Amino acid sequence: MSVRLNHAAIFFNEKTGEFHLQGRNFSYIFKILKNNQLGHLYFGKKIHHRDSFSHLFTISPRSNTTCQYEEDESFSLELIKQEYPSFGTTDFREPAFQIIQENGSRITNFEYIKHKIFKGKPKLDGLPSTYTENEDEAITLELVLYDHLIETELTLFYTVFDRFDALTRSAKFVNKGNQRLSLTRAMSVNIDFFDSNFEMLHLSGAWARERHVKIRKLEQGIQSISSTRGTASSPHHNPFIALKRPETTEHQGEVFGFSLVYSGNFLAQVEVDHYGVSRVTMGINPFDFNWLLKKNESFQTPEAVIVYSDQGLNGMSQIYHELYRTRLARGPWRDKIRPILINTWEATYFDFDEEKILNIAKTAKELGIELVVLDDGWFGNRNDDKTSLGDWFPNKKKLPNGISGLAKKINDMGLKFGLWFEPEMISKASNLYKKHPDWLIQVPGRRLSHGRNQYILDFSRKEVIEYIYSMIDNILSDAPISYIKWDMNRYMTEIGSLGLPPERQGELSHRYLLGLYSLLEKLTSKYPDILFESCASGGGRFDPGMLYYAPQTWTSDNTDAVERLKVQYGTSMVYPLSSMGAHVSGVPNHQVHRITSLNTRAAVAYFGIFGYEFDITKLSEREKNIIRKQIDFYKKHQELIQTGKFYRLLSPFTGTKNEVAWMVVSRDQKEAIAGYYRILAEPLPGFKKLVLKGLNPDFEYKIEGLPQTYFGDELMNFGILLDELGGNWKKELTGDFVSLVFALHTL
């Protein structure tokens, strides 16, 4: 039995009970074990299908093991690599799930019942996920297991894409019995690798230094990253890890990527056991999680997206980029060229009125900017960060004509208008709080902590979602708004809901996310032509879950060009340039107070969704001319940047850490743009060259501003001699914080 597409296939060997999932370049094989549970056999480079893979299965007896059958001293789950393991029946590693029953037992026995293989990919109830536009893009395996004692069904979902070396996994639990069950752990994916000869790569940091690349060698024991912040996946750890071989580089070698389509508490973990087996698990963080399942109730885990590459880290990244750009992001803005914007935040903060915004808009129009975004401070009585969150109506003292009047005036200039919201939060100094103090996340009798003088609305409650929806809908239906910046600046503390019974308090963090997703689904469905950009104190919620609703994310509150090199480089491990908000800001920079040139600030911001964020009304004529040229350059290359293949060339995390380089190549390889950055000047440096990637070796390329032409093989093997650049090129390499941008096209 099998279902095949052009490059993908799923086979079932009925006699041996084996499932073989094939992608373009990978194979994933598992089988039904003697105990009717599932054992993992292989995940790696694509291999031929055959009628039996029994030779890949081994359970060689080991001393001091516990075994499931009295007559069989070899069948121990401690020795077997598994698909979705439980705890307590001879496997002592951390499990994929755990269910507490009414008698206190945590022991389960889910056995294979049936499966089906079909073209296409089903949606997940209430959760974001990758998708297909027709059934010939992917194949799905739904595999059903059942525990007869507790009368509970477990369905494992596997989808293989035809175009991408990507496999998605999730799980669904359904209580079909009469007892109440507590699901305390429900991971989205588990894979037991044959060995532990890997390095674990993850993206960690903090506010203003998000997604820095970290690499560590796997050792016996548990190595993990996680979030317990409730409202966000967090800037501290991104819901992504990769396992790469020690010899794997950016462009060569084997790597396995794991990315969770979720925006809240998560756990990504690798446990190496005493036999050198690496168990990867990823899903909702079991810490502070408890989900009650009554009769006929179900729980669906978020989706994990697993990518295989034998073309190094950059090969893995390119798969994620194309998949997330075209089959995670949705709506008209998925493929449309995004407008170049000016955001008012660093220009005005809370201190503005209509006249000031209109003056910014007038200057923006002169420069070629296309969208004016009014940030925080336009609503309620908001003049600082202490009031008015929840009161989503215009501040008529600042904006006497309201949002509608301001937006129409900006539209009349030939510009689009955008608006900032932080709908998930509430201020105590607000009309909403006076009416509904019970709508805060809180624990009765406990002091409420605050962050940024704000508190969190209980999005697990449908009445809260409906109220916030109606407030935003009133604004959007009344004014010509083209863009929304959706912000979130507060993590959960005193986690409790006055709307949930005691036995469901452990569900709040996940229910909050389900409420958020439902609100975003409702708004994006009604207003599909509005471009949404997500934000969470910058990049605190830069995750696949939010990309499903908002095709771009504010990458970091840190707009310093030098710091952005690390942030954008790390972000590119998983996320496409089309998802990265990247702005040119003023100097001294508002976060690190560094002074960098206007050229370098733009050279970094080009490699993302481009915009500006400072008071452009104070520019000199010289600076205005520079910005006009920057905007012309970006518009000329915007489609290439947004849809091309991205290559990392020099890393800020390895080597000298003083040079960074990357490039984008068009799908037909006829165009490319490369950025080179040197952070600090060096005394008597060695000779420098920049070696490019991704070009056609037989094409002849012209680099704008240089007299000669180059064949692709020259540029990819020898490179561009930076020392021999003359004129303005050489001048640009003088001093600290310098950059060069090369635009290439074929003759």
Residue numbers annotated as active site: 487, 557
Of 483, 549, 482, give the one whose Cα is nearest residue 522: 549
How is residue 178 written in tokens? Answer: 């009469």
Per the DSSP assignment, residues forming a β-bridge with 373 are: 343, 418
C-beta separation of 610 from 552 below 8 A: no
How is residue 253 written in tokens? Answer: 């070698």
Of 391, 562, 416, 535, give the one whose Cα is nearest residue 472: 391
CA 653 to chain centre: 20
> Alpha helices, DSSP H only, in 557-696?
561-571, 598-605, 621-643
Of 202, 245, 246, 255, give the one whose Cα is nearest residue 224: 202
Q: Cβ contacts of residue 725 below 8 Å, gap of 6+?
A: 706, 733, 740
How is residue 646 written in tokens? Answer: 């991205």
C-beta separation of 79 from 52 below 8 A: no
How is residue 676 written in tokens? Answer: 């080179």
- Spell 45-80 as b/e; 16+ CB within 10 A means b: ebeebeeebeeebebeeeeebebbeeeeeebbbbbb
- 């950016």: which residue's tokens? 250
Interaxial angle between packed helices 621-643 and 354-367, expressed in degrees from 0 to 180 and rounded to the nearest 10 = 70
C-beta separation of 91 from 277 below 8 A: no
Distance CA 673, CA 633 (A): 11
The two counts, helices (H) then strands (E), for the chain are 13, 39
Of the CA atoms within 13 Å of residue 679, those in its CB half-sphere come to: 18
Distance CA 467, CA 38 (A): 46
C-beta separation of 512 from 230 below 8 A: yes
Distance CA 385, CA 393 (A): 16
CA distances to 418, 533, 596, 641 from 609, in Å? 15, 10, 20, 9
DSSP code at position 338: P
How is residue 508 written in tokens? Answer: 């709040």
Distance CA 137, CA 161 (A): 6
Distance CA 394, CA 404 (A): 9
Q: Cβ contacts of residue 105 below 8 Å, gap of 6+?
A: none
CA distances to 27, 237, 427, 442, 570 from 270, in Å? 21, 15, 40, 34, 21
C-beta separation of 494 from 442 below 8 A: yes
C-beta separation of 203 from 573 below 8 A: yes
Of the CA atoms within 13 Å of residue 159, those in its CB half-sphere come to: 24
Q: How many CB atoms lie within 10 A of CB 351?
A: 11
How is residue 224 written in tokens? Answer: 């993990």
Radius of gyration of the chain (CA): 27
Of 429, 540, 527, give the one whose Cα is nearest residue 484: 527
C-beta separation of 391 from 380 below 8 A: yes
- 């945590």: which residue's tokens? 106
CA distances to 260, 491, 509, 538 from 208, in Å? 22, 16, 25, 7
